[in-house]
Amino acid sequence: MGSSEERLLESLTSRYSEWIMEALGDLSHDLNFLITDPCIAGHPIVFASRGFLTMSGFSREEVVGRNGRIFQGPETDRRSVMEIREAIREERTMQISLLNYRKDGTPHWILFRLYPVFGRDDARVVHFVAVQVPIPRRRSSSGRQVARGGSLFGACRNEVRSDLEFRCCLPFDSYEDSDNRGLKGEEMREAGDSEKQKAIDGAAEILSKLMQYSKLTGRVVCVKRPTSPQPGFSHISSSLCTSLGRIKQSFVLTDPHLFDMPIVYASDAFLSLTGYGRDEVLGRNCRFLGGPRTDVDALKQINESILAEKACTVRILNYRKDGTSFWNLLHISPVRNSTGKIAFYVGVQVDEGAKNDVHGLSPAVRQLGAVGAVKVAVRSLSSCAGSSSRSSS
C-alpha cells in the first residue's frame, strides 16, 4: 500500500470488506453523509454519498481525501466549527445547525449530526459518520423561524435504533449567540423535528450497514465505545491520532504496558517506507521488520535501552513487506505523559538510502524533531484529559 488513494480506499475495505463501497452506494440517494478517518493524516474524507455530492455540487474526486473544512466559507460560524472539533476530540455524538457552502459558492444551512464509530476489539474510533440534512427556510406569521414536522422511526436494526433514540434525547440544541458574527447575509436557521428525525433515521441506516459489513472481516465496529477492549489492544484517542498525523516523519508508537509491546500507532510515512497497511501493523511487535541478516547486537541494544527507560539510536537492517531490505537509522525514545509516567515508546525511522532532506537537515535532527512533536502531542492531550476529568468530578 503505497499511494494515498490506496490508503483512503483501504480505510474502508480493510475494515468492512471490499463490498462496502457498493453497499454504501446502494443506500437511499437522498442520504447526505460523509465518512472520515481520524487515523489518516489530516483526518480526510474517505467516502461521500451520492446525495451529498448532489447537494454540494462537488465531484467525488474533489471531496475524497480532503478535510471537511473545504465546505466552510466566510459566513460559517467559527464557534460552531469549534463545537464540532471539540466533539471529535471527545469522541462523542453531536448535532448542530451549520452554514456550509456549495461548490458554486452559494451558502446553505444544514443540520450536521456527527457519530463516532468504534472498533469493538480496541475501543478506538475508526471512523466518523457525518449526516447532513438541508434546513429549509420557514417562517411563522410573526416572521420568526419555527421548527415543525415530525416523522415516525423508519425500520432499521434494533441495536442501532435504541442507541440513537437515547442519544436523540440528549441536549444538542444548535449553538446560538447574540454575538454570532458573520451571519448577516444568511439568517440563522434552526432544524425542525422532521430534519432531526431524518438525520437519526439516516444515521441508523448507515451505521447498521457498517456494522453488518464489518462482521465479514471479523473487525467488528459498534456505535458505543466498548467498556473493556480485548486484551493486547491499547486505546489511542482520535484527537491524538489527528495530532500525530501532522508529523510527517516515519515513526511508530508502541505501548510498553501491553504484552509484547505492540505498535498502537503507525504514521503514513512509516506505511509508505515499509509497504505494509495500517491493519497489518497495529497490534504487532516491531520485530516483524527484522529478517535473516538483522544484527542481533542491534536488537540487544534496543532491548537494553527500553529496560533502562532511555533513548537510543541504532543502525539496523530491516525488511519491507515485499522482502527488500533497507538500512534503518532508528531512534527510540520513551514518551511520558503529563504526570511523568512512560505512556509509549516512539521509534523514528530514516532510510539510510534516502536520507537526504530537502531542507538540509541531518537524520538526527529530523528524528529529534519528530520525537519532540510526539512528546508535545501526548503530554498536551493527557493534560487536557486530566483537566476534563477533574472538572467533571
Q: What is the pTM of this model?
A: 0.67
For the chain, the distance separating the N- and C-terminal CA atoms, rounded to the nearest angstrom, is 45
Question: Is 109 in contact with 190 (CB distance < 8 Å)?
Answer: no
Q: Assess whether pLDDT exceeds 80 at residue 381.
A: no
Helix (H, G, I), strand (E, B) or coil at 131: strand
pLDDT of residue 169: 39
User: Which residues make Cβ contacts (< 8 Å) with residue 319, sequence separation at least 6?
Assistant: 289, 290, 291, 294, 325, 326
Angle of helix 363-392 relative to helix 238-245, nearest 10 degrees? Answer: 160
Per-residue confidence band for 231, with pLDDT thresholds at 50, 70 and 90: low
15 class by beta-carbon count within 10 Å (0-12 exposed, 13-18 middle, 19+ buried): buried
Separation between Cα atoms, residue 356 and residue 6, nearest integer Å: 26
pLDDT of residue 50: 95
pLDDT one-digit tens code per residue, 123-134: 889 999 999 999
Tabulate helix, strand, coil % of the chain (nearest 5): 40, 20, 40
Q: Phi/psi of residue 257, each to 5°?
A: -90, -5
Q: Which helix (H) or strand (E) holds 369?
A: helix 363-392
All CATH 3.30.450.20 domain ranges in the chain, comma separated = 4-222, 238-392
Cell of 204: 441508523
Which residue carries 509508505 as its cell?
272
pLDDT one-digit tens code per residue, 238-268: 778 888 988 989 999 999 988 889 999 999 9
Separation between Cα atoms, residue 4 and residue 346, nearest integer Å: 23
Cell of 218: 471479523
CATH of region 4-222? 3.30.450.20
Rounded average pLDDT over 84-99? 92
Separation between Cα atoms, residue 356 and residue 74, nearest integer Å: 41
Round the average pLDDT of the chain to a whole number and report it. 83
pLDDT of residue 278: 85
Rounded average pLDDT over 79-99? 93
pLDDT one-digit tens code per residue, 322-335: 999 999 999 999 99
CATH of region 238-392? 3.30.450.20
Cell of 18: 471490499
Question: Is 331 in contact with 347 (CB distance < 8 Å)?
Answer: yes
Rounded average pLDDT over 34-63? 94
